[in-house]
Structure 1
């Protein structure tokens, strides 16, 4: 049982680091950045659920974290739609601070 727990923790940490690596290396498009952030949040949520299952039955904190993650994803998608409608694409090179 402890090997499965260690494997689950390692898998969630690997998800977090893969999301961080993709956020750093593939930053041409806004959609790639948003997807890598969501992948990191999924790894953190999985690690949080593993920790909460060891501590006790406190799942309200996990649900609160999941709610905040969904709100962050909805805000990111609404910004993506707004940027694609105003600029025509989601390249970071085409954004300018002066155009805001």
Structure 2
């Protein structure tokens, strides 16, 4: 019989690697890249909360990590809005260093 905590850890690791593979392979749009980064952060948060629940009293570190992830997501979405307003789309091929 498989231990339930081992199953939860493997599920979170699968989430991290699925997010990493989608970040590497589907990089046509900026929004796809941001969503795969958020999926990886969700898997890391799940793994971190599982490990911190074993320790007991260190749950505040996972809340601090979640706060940083939310700030990263808000920054990514604001950059996405800025790029869509300036370039008209979020294709990586339409970005140029010279246009800025």
TM-score w.r.t. the length of structure 1 is 0.97
Q: Is the aligned partner of 1:62 residue 2:62?
A: yes
Aligned match of 2:95 = 95
CA RMSD of aligned residues (A): 0.8
Give the structure 2 partner of residue 46 of structure 1: 46
Give SS of 1:99's match. Answer: coil
For residues 8 and 27 of structure 2, the distance between their equivalents in structure 1, rounded to whole angstroms, comes to: 28
How many residue pairs get aligned? The number is 99
Could you tell me which runs of 5 or more consecutive residues in structure 2 were left unpaired when the two chains were aligned. Answer: none
Counterpart-to-counterpart distance in 1, 2:11 and 2:67? 23
Q: Distance in 2 between matches of 1:64 and 1:99?
A: 37
**Runs of 5+ unmatched residues, structure 1:** none
**What is the DSSP-based 3-state SS (H/G/I as helix, E as strand, rest coil) of the residue aligned with 1:98?**
coil
Q: How does 1:74-93 map to 2 (within 5 A)?
A: 74-93=74-93
Corresponding residue for 1:31?
A: 31
Runs of 4+ residues over 3 Å off in structure 1: none
